[in-house]
Chain A
């Protein structure tokens, strides 16, 4: 389809090589299996596949036409037109990893700027060039902490209010280390905002403690006492953050976090049914040489001109092979670029504005839903950002189906992951949610609950 060879070209090339036909180039391949007849649908032209994909994509209900209160790790934000327009420059998206600095300064400087902004946003010294997503960034934090203590600390504490998928991914990543115990997120430890039970689990065998800010339930909790307790035991603390919230809230770096990770999707990256997203990963200065993944540094070229290069590459898998602590050999290049352009364009004022809109609309939504008889906000005594938990007076599975009839995606049913939160919904509100849609949810709840 995209092969440019004319029959004459092929003839010239075969003659140069000294074989008669192209098939001869494959004569060392097992004969019995050569040139299988692949059972695939007939070839389509661009025009046909374009029409086909239009139809396939239209059969989905999207957040363009549905009123969505879904969050739980992925958020429906507005992306300014300039972001995607710039991403579509072939010089960016058809470039490879910037291993050749002389002809990759664009990507390298963008990473440098990304590292700077993530550092500023999280209040940390150093950010890498990104991981796959928030969940794998969490897992990489555990791996880093494990190696930081040379495998001599055997406990990893995960808060039960850390995104359940992040906790699953940490467990998947660490299953080859049977001497490591991953704990702290059992139902018995609980989800109380005072973190008393959880903090009590920290001991001198703990490598790292991971909490989320705002947590999975949207709560804004002061982790300073927990961080101090962890440091008193010599343990590291990693905080998984929502970057939008950090426009308004004290960054974890200011209260002593050692590692800050997070899901960068809210920074101008489309929902796209769960990916590709962006995992950011920042550490304090002490951990800089232990960070995994790519890192860009500033230097000069032979003429003294400012230049950017990938640096500390000796830590990486292609050099250290089996001695490397992580096998990652990509970053989320294009998603990282999207977030860099997004943060630059919104800038100081725009980013605060979007976070404030999320905060205000979510609080309005919470009060509106609370006003419906039988519905009540759980954890109402704890501040929240743009996501909150509502307990419904009815079975939430049925309720969500009823709401679907009104084109409302009524949030995430927490009973999947938290038996203690039966009939509770996690509701997210972003800047895109107009007041009338919140009022419509309120009215619809009245209707479907009491008819």
Chain B
């Protein structure tokens, strides 16, 4: 059923919320600036609550079911995280309060920095980046600044494997780096020979996603890093796939120079329907001086009677400020709670079970769906959503048909190097029963693709809306409740 918009539900004169009357003498508003009309909805509180509750029921979510969305790590978001972030001592602190009045916040940030250093094997961490994309931007800027600082302004070339997330090239282009694509070999590793031909004194660095977006751990990763380092480049690690490596391998130990984390993937903070994320960046010694402005540190060591005093410091050659204040503090609190509940053994258990779940699904499905790279996967794997003998059925159809069985579809059409890709990441928080049910449905869909393909083409059947006309949306461009002409008046 179509849910009316808040403007359609509005009735002139209806009041949803009342504030107290002013307790001071009123003065006039500034002359010449008075607003004529304020076109906001007018609804009762109950109508507002029902409207948004009904909207929520049109969403799929982790709390409702299995979400095997590759590269997104849709794991369970523990409820304690939400309680923690809303504690009044956190939620009601102003970012410009004097440091001595927010020692709890600074202690938490400092400790989270230390933990992220330890988990990744790095020397420093900034918590400021707002999301993974901003973390990448931070890392790429630091690499660029490092080369400028070392008298190497010509180092502008950044190598990006063809399996990388689209964000990598977009980020590099934003800061004026020259993007050079790097091919994969037939085992899904970086093509070492191609790499060797591309490194010279113009090399700024390599952006490495490992495990890569095929879900494969690069078997030559140490050699790849050695080649880049020998040519004077730095290696950026895209930490989107850290869920596979927690407590298993520290990227810093194998020579990655800088890496971003996604707290909203690996460390269970909610995706929120598209944000907020949080993308802390970890660096080794080389890049410490370039960290973004404001890193939490101990400004006065503690002793037996007094705790240490925490405060901010400004790295000497900082790339600058990335956003207002210090980052997504509320997200940091959630990640802190999550890491504290796991510790070393718990983190390793996450990675092990994530990889176990992925390999189990892969083995159960590879007879039915083509598996282009048949070797042990990490936390995710990629199938072809396509069969040569039924060319009319596409990954898109399989994805949509899954919705009829109350599953969220896998990521599809990415990575680009696999034909009709279906990228599946089950995460560690799913039970064997859920995985088996998913396998049964995937096999059933493969049968339907042959026996009744129309079922797939028409899918989904039972969702709040069916397949939507995206071309029409782009052409007519209705992007607000009122027609554009009306707004212009």
Contact = CB atoms under 8 A, between A and B. Distances in A.
A75 B74 CA distance: 33
Contact of A305 (B2, B15, B18, B92): B2
B468 A102 contact: yes
Given A72-B96, A102-B464, A330-B277, A61 B60 contact: no
Given A3-B349, A95-B59, A275 B329 contact: yes
A450 to B, nearest CB: 24
A186 to B, nearest CB: 18
A215 interface: no
A33 B254 contact: yes
A94 B270 contact: yes
Interface string A288-299: 100000111111
A179 to B, nearest CB: 10
28 contacts: A2-B78, A62-B92, A68-B97, A74-B324, A76-B94, A92-B272, A98-B274, A102-B463, A136-B130, A163-B324, A175-B320, A270-B86, A271-B91, A272-B93, A274-B325, A274-B327, A302-B469, A309-B473, A324-B166, A326-B170, A330-B275, A333-B274, A344-B51, A348-B39, A357-B19, A357-B22, A400-B98, A434-B23
Interface string A320-342: 11111111111111111100010
B194 to A, nearest CB: 18
Contact of A12 (B5, B432, B477): B432
Interface in B36-77: 36, 38-43, 45, 48-49, 51-53, 55-64, 67, 69, 72, 74-77
B341 A1 contact: yes
Contacts of A127: 479-480
Interface in B445-489: 458, 460, 463-470, 472-474, 476-482, 484, 487-488
B272 to A, nearest CB: 3
Interface in A92-149: 92-98, 100-107, 109-110, 112-113, 115-117, 119-121, 124-127, 129-130, 132-136, 143
B63 A94 contact: yes
Given A17-B360, A53-B87, A132-B130, A106 B55 contact: yes
B321 interface: yes
Given A102-B460, A354-B19, A431-B19, A285 B170 contact: no
A215 B88 CA distance: 30
A188 interface: no
Given A272-B329, A332-B275, A120 B40 contact: yes
Q: Closest 4 CB pairs between A and B?
A: A274-B325, A57-B89, A90-B63, A176-B175
B119 interface: yes
A345 interface: yes
A97 to B, nearest CB: 4
Contacts of A330: 131-133, 274-277
Interface stretch (A42-50, A199-207, A370-378, A387-395): A42-50
Interface stretch (A189-197, A227-235, A311-319): A311-319
Interface stretch (A152-160, A165-173, A440-448): A165-173
Given A103-B58, A305-B2, 8 more contacts: A18-B363, A37-B344, A103-B460, A103-B463, A176-B141, A274-B329, A298-B478, A341-B48
A140 to B, nearest CB: 11
Given A30-B254, A63-B92, A275 B48 contact: no
Interface stretch (B25-33, B281-289, B297-305, B385-393): B25-33
Given A105-B464, A297-B479, A356 B22 contact: yes
Contacts of B108: 56
B22 A30 contact: no
Interface stretch (B195-203, B216-224, B228-236): B216-224
Contacts of B464: 102-103, 105
B192 interface: no
A5 interface: yes
A225 interface: no
Size category, B interface? 35 or more
A431 B26 CA distance: 13
A43 B177 contact: no
A74 B341 contact: no
A16 interface: yes
A266 interface: no
A28 B122 CA distance: 22
A12 B356 CA distance: 11
Contacts of B62: 90, 94-95
Contacts of B191: none
A435 interface: yes
A336 B45 CA distance: 19
Interface in B380-434: 399-400, 403, 408-409, 414, 428-432
A371 B104 CA distance: 37
Contact of A172 (B131, B221, B321, B355): B321
A303 interface: yes
Given A2-B76, A346-B40, A105 B59 contact: yes
Contacts of A346: 16-17, 40
Contact of A86 (B56, B105, B141): B56
A363 interface: yes
B273 interface: yes
B250 interface: yes
Nearest to A323: B173
Contact of A106 (B6, B56, B487): B56
Contacts of B345: 43
Contact of B432 (A5, A105, A285): A5
Given A344-B43, A364-B25, A273 B38 contact: no
Contacts of B466: 102, 301-303, 305
A130 B276 CA distance: 11
A187 interface: no
Nearest to B102: A60
B438 interface: no
Contacts of B331: 275-276
A150 B460 CA distance: 42
A119 B480 contact: yes
A345 B17 CA distance: 6
B374 interface: no
B169 A110 contact: no
Contact of A101 (B94, B104, B465): B465
B443 interface: no
Contacts of B253: 33, 36
B403 A25 contact: no
Contacts of B7: 113, 116
A91 B328 contact: no
Contacts of A27: 376
A280 interface: no
A323 B5 CA distance: 35
B190 interface: no
B337 interface: yes
B474 A274 contact: no
B40 A40 contact: no
Residue of B38, B276, B337, B479 with most chain A CB atoms under a 10 A cut-off = B479
Nearest to B98: A404
Nearest to A352: B38
Contact of B467 (A102, A143, A321): A102
Given A126-B480, A334-B272, A344-B6, A29 B248 contact: yes
A310 B350 CA distance: 33
A318 B167 contact: yes
A263 interface: yes
A349 to B, nearest CB: 5
B488 A94 contact: no
Contacts of A434: 23
B77 A93 contact: yes
Given A17-B360, A105-B55, A350-B17, A331 B61 contact: no
Contact of A300 (B104, B268, B472): B472
B130 A133 contact: yes
Contacts of A53: 84, 87, 333, 336-337
A109 B479 contact: no
